[in-house]
Structures are given as structure tokens and as C-alpha cells.
Amino acid sequence: DVKVTQSSRYLVKRTGEKVFLECVQDMDHENMFWYRQDPGLGLRLIYFSYDVKMKEKGDIPEGYSVSREKKERFSLILESASTNQTSMYLCASRLRGLAPSYNEQFFGPGTRLTVL
Amino acid sequence: ELKVEQNPLFLSMQEGKNYTIYCNYSTTSDRLYWYRQDPGKSLESLFVLLSNGAVKQEGRLMASLDTKARLSTLHITAAVHDLSATYFCAVTSGTYKYIFGTGTRLKVLA
């Protein structure tokens, strides 16, 4: 079974703090993703990494950065946390797609971040 | 821009009843996913639909895909309380982007 783990289930931080969210997968997947989930908005892609040290901006990258130094680990960084970054953050991974692969994503348990 | 719309957003139904959740998307996509999310939990993959006319079934859930109509349905047969959750559909856009619907919150009443 694919396992995707996230470092914290719940996190409370103060405005202006630097925040690190860690994600680790154990199935040697090339691709990893960070999403945030907000009520009524579904999941929105923040960043995507298609391989080690490679990254692409998603739909809402502002205020975030990422790091992928090892294949199994993908970190999301909030450089200076703000209250509008209070959200549920979900990490996902998948194999690099080759037809007819269906590129199924496997999600971690999520980190609920509150910024005060 | 690819958009995905689900309806209804909220669904309250009696145990034993049937119902359908609809997922419309705005431009062509070569695959569609259905996920389930329990409160406070992450997303669990239910179905992957790859081609027009694809139908997949697991227990009381059946998903289908009509690529010409850009429509997928998730049909619930004889609902039970354990099916209470939020259901998301998602389509791929390009090589790595997934566009998610806003979700349908299903509550099955005993």
C-alpha cells in the first residue's frame, strides 16, 4: 500500500512565523503535490514537483515555497504566515504518468493549520 | 480554463434510497477521478474512469463517464449510513494538473 504521511495533523502558528509542512511518501513516486482545501472551494494546487529539485507553481503559489531535496520528501514553506493561510493542507504523490497509466494520486492525512 | 462543477453540493437522503451525484467539466479531459473524504480525514480514491462509456462499481457506488457530454455520475444504490461523507470528482488538465469539484456532502439518515 502507498503511504503518504504528513508531519503534523494540527498546527497553530502566529502571524509572521515561518512554517514548515513536511510530506513523506514511501512508494518511490516521482511526482508530489501540495494542495490546500477550503470549504466551498475544493482542492487547489499550490505547488507540484515532478522530480527531485524540480518544482512547478500551481494555481495559488503566492506566499508559499517548496523544497524537494530527496525523492520521498516534499516540504511546503510559508515564509511569513498570514491569517488567510489558515486552511487544511493536503500532500499527494503519484507515479510519473505513462499511458495507459491512470496517474492516480495518493493523499496524506492532511495538516490543519491555524494562523492566529 | 477547465472548470469542474458538482451538484448537488449537499445531499441528505434516507437509508435505502437511491440517488445520483453529477460532475460536469468544461473542456475535454482524458480521465476522471472520484474520491471520498470523511470528516477530518484525507481523500480516498474510489474510481478512475478512463474512457467514454466507462462504468465502475464498488459495493453500493457506481460511477460512469460520458466524455461527449463531459459528465460523470456517481450513483448510490440503497444508501446506508456508512456512505455519509463528502465526495469529490476531479479531472486532469495537462500532465500534472488536477481540477477538483467543490464536493458533494452526503448525509444518509437512518
Quick: pLDDT tens for A21-59: 999 999 888 899 999 999 888 899 999 998 899 999 999
Q: Which three cell numbers stand for residue B104?
A: 458533494
* Alpha helix positions (H), A2-116: none
pLDDT score, position A99: 52
CB contact residues (below 8 A), chain B span 48-87, against chain A? 48, 50
- In chain A, which residues have their Cβ closer than 8 Å to the Cβ of B92? 103
| Confidence band of A2 (pLDDT split at 50, 70, 90) | low
How far is B13 from chain A, CA to nearest CA, in Å?
21
pLDDT score, position A69: 95
Question: Phi first, then psi: what are they for B85, rounded to 5°?
Answer: 180, 180
Rounded to an integer, what is the distance from CA A33 to the centroid of its chain?
5
pLDDT score, position B58: 94
pLDDT over 70 at A97, yes or no: no
Q: Is the four-CA dihedral A38, A35, B32, B5 of positive or negative sign? A: positive
